[in-house]
Amino acid sequence: SRLSAPHSVADVLDRLKELGEKAGDGKVRLGDALEAMGHRAYGPFFIILPLIDISPIGGIPGLPTAMAVVMVLLAAQLVLGHEHMWLPAFLKKRGIAGRKLVTVANKMQPVGRRMDKWFHGRLSPLTKGPMIRFAGVAIILLCVTVPPLELLPFASTAPMLAILAFGIALLVRDGVLMLFACALALV
């Protein structure tokens, strides 16, 4: 486990790939990811979970709803101002096959590098204080739309894209992206 939280999308994906390679045929548990990303790093989880949903793995019935439940729990902690993330033991034990995680990380790496070039610290005051709580509320509302959307294949991608935008904005402290995420959430 690393002491510092990731500071870029590429860093998040590198850590995911590392976890997946270490697990091999076994599972990477949410608890392992929490340790690798840091207990204060909300942004990476609002990047990782939507990326998994957007990937072909997201087509597994029930998976988008399960990820939405985890994100509601994390977003609620964000709204309440908790500095450290907490997950119940039964969720920490849930996971995804290491090899699938490596595949997702590899496929998303070029996109992650592009995102890191585009998004970086603009209007950073918009990623602090009340905006963080607003982002948490928006993420919760977006997650509520996931279970009914899951009835249509890959329809949950729309709210997941908005959550992904919030996650990146929180990670790289980009206020312009935060505003875009807010607009995307409204749409």
> Is the model's pLDDT at 113 over the cut of 70?
yes
Q: Specify which residues 96 forms β-bridges with.
A: 28
CB of 31 closer than 8 Å to CB of 25: no
Q: Cβ of 86: how many Cβ atoms within 10 Å?
A: 12
Tens of pLDDT, residue by residue over 62-100, are 888 998 999 999 999 999 998 888 888 888 898 888 998
Give Cα 140 to chain centroid, integer Å. Answer: 13
Pairwise CA distance, residues 122 & 120, whole Å: 6
Tens of pLDDT, residue by residue over 158-171, are 899 999 999 988 88
Amino acid 112 reads: G
Pairwise CA distance, residues 140 & 137, whole Å: 5
Pairwise CA distance, residues 76 & 82, whole Å: 9
